[in-house]
Chains A and B, each alone.
Chain A
């Protein structure tokens, strides 16, 4: 069991996580399964009954979702509820009981809800394309990582979900109960006696044979360049870079600092030059994905000025690859990261995610140790790691030409 005892928050979170290696074959099943499991159970025969039970627990929230960490797909079933000190009657075991029903309370999955849940998921997948910013980003990822595991979209794609039958999903549910690794995660005002109650309902299953970090890599032969058109008013520019630096490698923290200096906030090169100096865009940022060794820049740019923006972006990248940052400049990025590390401790969700990631990577560090790692990075280390960056893909979602 992974436990974060804390008195800081007014809520308790209990989360059950089913893990398995992500594959093209299981992605659709794992996207749909949690939804059907939380539609109704043996005890709560309708979705209305289940929702009412949550409302009666002072609006407890049941969250089911499928995410990924590196190569591992995680079906996360979690319930969050206010601490018993605020309630007139006990809520802790009641919440556990609801969560247990959702996970285990099915002799078979509810067949009568299958078509509805499938429709809801397919519509959610389709509507994803309405958010042009994330749509453009995921198109870039698919272009860049064609035929690599990383391109698999955890939320599932239409072709992954459409062919699924009830029988297939029901069989897969039983298989997951039997084979998946299971983490039990608890955060809040808990003591030994409450944790014992948790153990009555849930048992972790840890086989430790899942690989998280994705080492699949490809050489950049030539820049992949793709433009799609859509009825939008602003060009969504996404640039993907191979950046072969991964979790637990020595230059992971310098790489994190490089990313922060490049596009991680308002002190960054991209923000200051592309947005502030040239007023070319409303948003621009970069992200670093240390599970894969991948970095990307995304921006919304005035359609007339895309070429200029691309030029300024290249200049900024090149600048970080050729010139040493001053200590002062680097300190801005260090402060931003340290601030972020501390701030994440003030959010129950964020601190729990960071604890969970550390447990999974088998790399538990105190806050002070994490800060120490960031503080001691030198400008030279940042410059060295910057040279590993290679532009791989330029993807633009552009306004239609009329």
Chain B
């Protein structure tokens, strides 16, 4: 184990890569009651094309399989439910699937050691049968239908589908009604064996625990399971044209007020550290020109074009970079026009250095506030690692963003890269 202490943030970090490749981070926080444990695989909804472990031919799997696998992993061979068993330790268990990760987690204040061992065991015992896969299709279809009732979900995925022709971000994490039907237990095993190899996984523990004891428990548990270290999984993203798919979509839903979302497709970098900087530069650009203190925002508000639901955010993942601005509005046509012009005009503005400094301060403050919770410390720590940087380097990385970085992104915003997605109230 290697040990680092970050004085400024007062955090102690122990790290090791086990013989089987499992990446282990232990961050003790004795002043807290609970411990928050995550067992994550570097595998999300985007990872549909890959070379299965031990094979040499690429396969492409149905959308939604990562999330489906997450659901099914709780079913154990002896017909018990891992969720119930974990909960029986008195801990709160959960799991989620994102675009690039699947995370199994629990937090609790007692029986943490037993729960940790059980977490390692149940995730490492796959059990998929034809019948159980069919039953799960019913549950997941209900989940899919539930999300379909949420305008914000429809909006986000609608914009991404309008921007991306081939990149799998154009499809819901949960999959589609059609893709769900194509999932079989054989495909689940293929994905499992490839992506749930310890060399593709990380265990992160934050909270009130004895790190020496935990390290021993983890190591013993893993050593006896006979995994040998494996090479990184080779995965493929389809080529994505620069052009967007569609510049305009309007749908109807049961809502009271129209909603408009604008999405802009931008050029992503490939080097992970540069990707992180680019995302930060984009989020600073959005703060400068589209946050509550910006002139644009004040104008939109005074023109009665937006309301409290207004939001702007970057989306960054391997092979894609986009920005999304959404709001309810009583005047969708005018909002689309005005906001499009505002977006295109950003590149003509000279960055005000004083304002940039203020927004960097606010970004730093948000980052530090996020360390308050064990959950965001744990998950944040991992997400910065996926860019190859330590979380504690964030203050200096934020500081390093220049007005040139911001202009580089602003220059990419062209009318042809913008899509508009509108949800209109369904007429009764």
Contact = CB atoms under 8 A, between A and B. Distances in A.
A212 interface: no
Interface stretch (A44-52, A143-151, A215-223): A44-52
B145 A234 contact: yes
A214 B100 CA distance: 48
A52 B143 CA distance: 41
A332 interface: yes
Contacts of A265: 87, 92
Interface stretch (A20-28, A176-184, A334-342): A334-342
A55 B368 contact: no
Contact of B362 (A59, A119, A283, A302): A59
- Which among B108, B145, B149 has the greatest number of chain A C-beta atoms within 10 A? B149
Interface in A236-277: 265-267, 272, 276
B83 A342 contact: no
Contacts of A126: 256-257
B126 interface: no
Interface string A109-135: 000000010011001101101111000
Contact of A55 (B253, B328, B362, B372): B362
B138 interface: yes
Contact of B31 (A8, A56, A120, A343): A8
Interface in A302-353: 302, 332, 335-336, 338-339, 342-343, 345-348
A41 interface: no
B149 A10 contact: no
Interface stretch (B298-306, B332-340, B413-421): B298-306
Interface of B is mostly: mixed
Contacts of A42: none
Contacts of A343: 33-34, 92, 107, 109
A290 interface: no
Interface stretch (A167-175, A225-233, A354-362, A381-389): A225-233
A339 B108 contact: yes
B371 interface: yes
B91 to A, nearest CB: 7
B139 interface: yes
Contacts of A379: none
Contacts of B301: 116
A279 interface: yes
A129 B87 contact: no
Contact of A58 (B146, B253, B364): B364
B351 to A, nearest CB: 16
Given A231-B254, A233-B148, A10 B84 contact: no
Given A231-B426, A279-B135, A51 B372 contact: no
A337 B60 CA distance: 45
B373 interface: yes
A3 B31 CA distance: 19
B135 A266 contact: no
B254 A127 contact: no
Interface string B354-396: 0000110111111011011110000000000000000000000
B142 interface: yes
B81 interface: yes
B226 interface: no
Interface in A78-114: 80-82, 86
Contacts of B361: 55-56, 58-59
Contacts of B304: 116, 119
B238 interface: no
Given A58-B364, A80-B369, A120 B358 contact: no
Contact of B365 (A7, A82, A266): A82
Interface in B99-147: 107-110, 135, 138-139, 142-143, 145-146
Contact of A342 (B33, B93, B139): B33
Contact of A59 (B295, B328, B366, B373): B366
B32 interface: yes
Contact of A9 (B109, B110, B254, B372): B372
B107 A124 contact: no
B253 A231 contact: yes
B292 interface: yes
B139 A232 contact: no
Contacts of B93: 266
A293 interface: no
A190 to B, nearest CB: 16
Given A126-B256, A343-B107, A332 B88 contact: yes
A276 B83 CA distance: 11
B374 A346 contact: yes
Interface string A3-16: 00001111100000
B90 interface: yes
15 contacts: A7-B31, A55-B358, A59-B366, A81-B365, A82-B368, A86-B368, A119-B307, A120-B308, A127-B307, A230-B254, A265-B87, A302-B142, A335-B110, A342-B34, A343-B33
Interface of A: 7-11, 46-48, 51-52, 54-61, 80-82, 86, 116, 119-120, 123-124, 126-127, 129-132, 230-234, 265-267, 272, 276, 279, 281-283, 300, 302, 332, 335-336, 338-339, 342-343, 345-348
Given A51-B293, A126-B256, A234-B145, 6 more contacts: A10-B371, A10-B372, A120-B308, A127-B256, A339-B109, A346-B34
Give me the 5 closest cross-chain CB pairs, A-B, nearest first.
Answer: A58-B365, A335-B90, A59-B362, A59-B365, A231-B254
